[in-house]
Amino acid sequence: MPLLKSIRIGTVTLPGNLALAPMAGVTDLPFRRICRELGADLVCTELVSARGIRFDRSLGRALSLLEIDPDREAPVAIQLFGGDPEDFRYAIDAIRSHPVLDRCDLLDLNMGCPVAKVVRNGDGAALMLDPARAEAVIRVAVEAAGRPVTVKFRLGWDAARRNAADFARMCRDAGASAITVHARTRDQMYAGKADWTLLADVVRAVDIPVFGNGDVRCGEDAVRMIRETGVCGVAVGRAAMGDPWVFRRIRVALGSEAPGAYPPDAHPPEAHSPEGHPGMASAEERAAMMRRHAAETAARLGEARGIREMRAHLGWYLRGSAGASAFRGIAVRVETLSDVEGLVADWLSVQREHGRR
Ligand SMILES: Cc1cc2nc3c(=O)[nH]c(=O)nc-3n(C[C@H](O)[C@H](O)[C@H](O)COP(=O)(O)O)c2cc1C
């Protein structure tokens, strides 16, 4: 039985059960598009403050973070964070009044962000300490959204308060159509090993789809997480940084190469690396991706800002390659598309010298 399967989230059907986890500063529009083409079945915008939208009285500054391309990255979720139901009502109405944003498939509520300046306001993971307020937020969002609402949260606040199963039940009762659980507590931030054991309790607690998240780095991890916990799908975060091909490899491991799941211009899922690992990117593919990613980012943000934002992505693409540290030293200084071209061309010739196609 292939573990790759389509999933229904309320009225929305995902072609498969493999999601890109939202990451602020990483999962912007060009990167989400790339991940979608390489096999992510669901992508999500970076978190945006519901209160910020309300205070600005417009989508204003949030628009660049919220920008979606429903034609080339669907299904796509927009993620909001906050703690005041009225902020969400305002922000969701603003999203619904926008001709493009209104075409997002899902609205995702962040209840897992561990960052101090977020939890200090009672937002993000702090909502796990206040399920009544979390419930009020979800109920308003469900009422306002006009599409399925999903919630992303953690195992709990700390080791002594791992209330993910109860929190999941509350989400379901408040009207959430699916949840994603990052298998760490707020106290753990992003460190230490994700503890998948509690995910099974969450799955048993609710009858809506549960996506498991935390430390899925390869196909084998995805298979193990689904088998060990019963989650219906997995969400992949950091493993996709600089390696969007991870989705291709996970799809292979989950047992499906269904071409129908890919948009027509996608990379073929059966591509093989020189070493013969299904789905590993060759040096040529990595080079082509760096060029494309930089070009799309520059087209979107303008060359100066776009290339600055590309520096981190370039560093991630270079990881583990021959001469990586020297090339990363160059990547942190690129300013123009032509700098990127020079870097990529030099990098590729070094890879060829080292026999890496
Ligand atoms: C740089 C970074 C930014 C993140 N930003 C968000 C975010 O905006 N919204 C969110 O729900 N989670 C965010 N996360 C958490 C990830 O979605 C994910 O839950 C976490 O990284 C664990 O998954 P992983 O082990 O696959 O990376 C972020 C994580 C990282 C590393």
| pLDDT range class, residue 2, cuts 50, 70, 90 | confident
Strands 12-14 and 7-9: antiparallel
Number of structural domains the chain divides into:
2
Task: Identify whether residues 138 and 69 lie together within a single domain.
Answer: yes
Query: Which residue in 35, 44, 104, 113 is the catalytic one?
Result: 113
Task: Identify whether residues 141 and 241 lie together within a single domain.
Answer: yes
- DSSP-assigned letter for residue 61: G
Instruction: Report the distance separating Cα 342 and Cα 335, nearest Å.
Output: 11
Position 60 scores a pLDDT of: 82
Residue at 318 is within a domain = yes
For residue 235, the CA-to-ligand 1 centroid distance in Å is: 10
Task: Identify whether residues 52 and 119 lie together within a single domain.
Answer: yes
- DSSP-assigned letter for residue 320: T
> How many CB atoms neighbour CB 113 within 10 A?
23
User: Does residue 154 or residue 278 have the better pLDDT?
Assistant: 154
How does the average pLDDT of the chain come out, rounded? Answer: 93
Task: Identify whether residues 218 and 331 lie together within a single domain.
Answer: no
Q: For residue range 144-164, what is the model confidence (pLDDT) as tens digits? A: 999 999 999 999 999 999 999
Residue at 85 is within a domain = yes
Residue at 298 is within a domain = yes
Instruction: Report the distance separating Cα 153 and Cα 37, nearest Å.
Output: 26
Task: Identify whether residues 256 and 312 lie together within a single domain.
Answer: no
Q: For residue range 185-214, what is the model confidence (pLDDT) as tens digits? A: 999 999 999 999 999 999 999 999 999 999
Angle between helices 219-229 and 197-205 (to 10 degrees): 50
Residue at 269 is within a domain = no
Task: Identify whether residues 257 and 299 lie together within a single domain.
Answer: no
Q: Is the pLDDT of residue 260 over 70?
A: no
Task: Identify whether residues 293 and 231 lie together within a single domain.
Answer: no
For residue 49, the CA-to-ligand 1 centroid distance in Å is: 16
For residue 78, the CA-to-ligand 1 centroid distance in Å is: 14
Q: Name the token pair of 56.
A: 């600005």
Nearest CA to ligand 1 atom 3: 23
Nearest CA to ligand 1 atom 1: 23
Nearest CA to ligand 1 atom 14: 23
Domain CATH code at residue 341: 1.10.1200
- DSSP-assigned letter for residue 98: S
Closest CA to 37 of 69, 73, 5: 73
Nearest CA to ligand 1 atom 19: 182
Task: Identify whether residues 225 and 178 lie together within a single domain.
Answer: yes
Task: Identify whether residues 162 and 255 lie together within a single domain.
Answer: yes
Pocket test for ligand 1, best of 27, 190, 241 (most atoms within 8 A of CB): 190
Ligand 1: list residues with CB < 6 Å: 21-26, 46-47, 79, 110, 112-113, 152, 182, 190, 213-216, 236-239
Which structural domain, as residue segments, surrounds residue 311? 283-353
Active site residue 44: no
Residue at 35 is within a domain = yes
Position 61 scores a pLDDT of: 82
Pocket test for ligand 1, best of 182, 199, 246 (most atoms within 8 A of CB): 182
Q: How far apart are the first and last CA of the chain?
A: 34
Closest CA to 344 of 298, 273, 266, 292: 292
At residue 51, φ and ψ (nearest 5 deg) are -65, -40
Domain CATH code at residue 19: 3.20.20.70
For residue 350, the CA-to-ligand 1 centroid distance in Å is: 33
146: left (phi over 0), alpha (psi -120 to 50) or beta: left
Residue at 111 is within a domain = yes
Task: Identify whether residues 240 and 294 lie together within a single domain.
Answer: no
| pLDDT range class, residue 274, cuts 50, 70, 90 | very low
The residues with which 236 forms a beta bridge, in sequence order, are 20
pTM of the entire predicted model: 0.94
What is the tally of helices (H) and strands (E) in the chain?
Answer: 15, 11
Amino acid at 273: S
Q: Is the pLDDT of residue 268 over 70?
A: no
Contact 80, 122 (CB under 8 A): no
What's the alpha-carbon Rg for the chain, to the nearest Å? 20
Q: Where does a domain end: 261, 294, 318?
A: 261
